Amino acid sequence: MGYAIPVPEVVYMRNARFMASVAAASFLLSAVALADVDPKIGRLWKAQCAACHGQTGKGDTDKGKQMKVNDMSTAAFQAKKDDDFKKALADGVKWEGGDMPAFKDLTPDQVTGLVTLIRSFKK
Ligand code: HEC
């Protein structure tokens, strides 16, 4: 039983690979945390979306009822694609009961977070 003394290059490579996997893992973790309960996204929803769509996406506010927005918790609504949701945010929605404005200042992270939040309204 002896042990080899690692040459510096080998140690460096190992560390690089280890650091890369740590970075990947923490990236995944942050994506999951955002998906679940990023409070900033919740606040964004409350401030910008809930007046029409309701706190839980059911559209059960005065304005939501008046505009006849769809209940986001239904299977029919949830059958829509993420890209449909993103398009609504980027371009707004023309609607007989009153249009949804475009939200052009949202960052890609905010858009992703809002889509994930809307998915969480599923029954
Ligand atoms: C002035 C009211 C109003 C506000 C504020 C509003 N919406 Fe809407 N939204 C609507 C209306 C009206 C529709 C079209 C009817 C429907 O699908 O419920 C709609 C539709 C949608 C849809 C469905 C798009 C599709 O493909 O059918 C999504 C997703 C959506 N809104 C997300 C949001 C988010 C996220 C916010 C906040 C950043 C927001 N809305 C703010 C009124 C609003």
pLDDT tens digit sequence for 87-123 = 999 999 999 999 999 999 999 999 999 999 999 999 8
- Cα of 32 to ligand 1 centre, how many Å? 24
Q: Return d(Cα 26, Cα 122) in angstroms, integer.
A: 27
For the chain, the domains span 1-37, 39-119
Closest atom of ligand 1 relative to the 69 alpha carbon: 18
- Cα of 3 to ligand 1 centre, how many Å? 64
pLDDT tens digit sequence for 20-77 = 665 555 554 444 444 465 899 999 999 999 999 999 999 999 999 999 999 999 999 9
Residue nearest to atom 26 of ligand 1 (CA): 84
- Domain 39-119: CATH superfamily is Cytochrome c-like domain (1.10.760.10)
Answering whether pTM is above 0.85, one says no
Dihedral sign (CA 37, 40, 46, 48): negative
- Cα of 36 to ligand 1 centre, how many Å? 21
